[in-house]
Amino acid sequence: MLLDHDGAAQHQDDDPLDPDRKFGTVGAVALDANGNLAAATSTGGMTNKQAGRVGDSPLAGAGCYADNESVAVSCTGTGEVFIRTLAAYDIAAQMRYGGRSLQQASVNVIHDKVLELGGSGGLIAIDRAGNVALPFNSEGMYRGFARVGEPAEVAIYRES
């Protein structure tokens, strides 16, 4: 199974992804001036997906989750694994019940739980204090964030 952000998918001679019809996940998380957290996730689906497949994006807690008490999260990647781990909600639970920081919880989900089940992908998240996490275990992940009065930061690969 190849995801849009897998290096293998983009370096094959018989590329399974049509560059003119390639769409991926678009996620957004926000913290407003009143302390409200919000998350949104939209996906173009997965290349060569089986008919009737339902991904993680529309399932609360799997690919998208927000709670004013903890965090807003939007995920991208191997949807079946994000569903099995309830990845987005698990970050909130680790923070709320386990006392982990946003960075600790996000890295645990992406680099431990998702990876252990053979999943690939990443997430964007912001907590109620304005901390941002952008971990991923794939070759790259389009990502960025901005704060009022500061320049936006964008990246694709780890070294970015």
Enumerate the active-site residues. 25
β-bridge pairing 64-66 and 37-42: unpaired
Give the whole-angstrom CA distance, residue 157 versus residue 148: 25
Q: For the residues of 52-84, what is the DSSP string, one character each?
A: T---STTSBTTTEEE-TTSEEEEEEE-HHHHHH
User: Terminus-to-terminus CA distance in the chain, angstroms?
Assistant: 26
